[in-house]
Amino acid sequence: MAGRGKLIAVIGDEDTCTGFLLGGVGELNKNRKPNFLVVEKDTSIAEIEETFKSFLARNDIGIILINQFIAEMIRHAIDAHMQSIPAVLEIPSKEHPYDASKDSILRRAKGMFSADDFR
């Protein structure tokens, strides 16, 4: 376990999760806890947020990939995460193309020249 690297977690729609699991990122640990969440129509925002927070709390996760439209639902939780590890990456989904203006990281970078930064 010590020499092993960290995992990549995925929160996304079925096709996104299937794709990344095909790529080999999936894990079901000893407690049968997966490192992915397939978000369906009936998945509640509370469940998504709880899963996201549980991924943040796990120290064996290095990157969290999340569909941007799902990230929009829990934007406050993503904005509140300031640590470098795990890194949160917003990715497009089939129905929702990637919009850089919504990305938490790029919005933070864009805010560089705001007046607040120089106070």
Partner 1 sequence: MGVSELEESSLLFDEKLLRFMDQLELLEEKRATLNSLIEQGWFSMSKARYSMGNKQVSALQYASEIEPMVFVHARTLDSGEVDFCTERVPPNRESGKDVRSIENIGPQDEGVRRRNKPKNNTTEKEANVQTGDDKAPEVSSVKKSDTNSQQDPLKWFGILVPQSLKQAQSSFKQVIDLSAEIATLQTSVLNIRQELKNSMKDKLTLQEKASGAKLDKAAD
Give the one residue of 19, 33, 75, 79 binding partner 1; rule: CB under 8 A: 19
Q: Among the candidate windows 34-42, 43-51, 69-77, which touches partner 1 by CB under 8 A?
A: 34-42
In angstroms, the CA 16 to CA 101 distance is: 21
Q: How many Cβ atoms from other residues are within 10 Å of residue 53's Cβ?
A: 14
Asked if residue 5 binds partner 1 (CB under 8 A), the reply is yes
First to last CA, the chain: 45
Asked if residue 58 binds partner 1 (CB under 8 A), the reply is no
Residue among 87, 81, 28 at smallest CA distance from 61 = 87
Residue 74 CB, nearest approach to partner 1 (Å): 18
Residue among 99, 96, 100, 63 at smallest CA distance from 81 = 63
Q: How many Cβ atoms from other residues are within 10 Å of residue 42's Cβ?
A: 6
Q: Among the candidate windows 49-57, 72-80, 106-114, which touches partner 1 by CB under 8 A?
A: 106-114
Positions that interact with partner 1 (CB under 8 A):
4-8, 14-28, 34-35, 38, 62-63, 65, 84-85, 87, 89, 91-92, 94, 97-98, 100, 105, 108-109, 112, 117-118
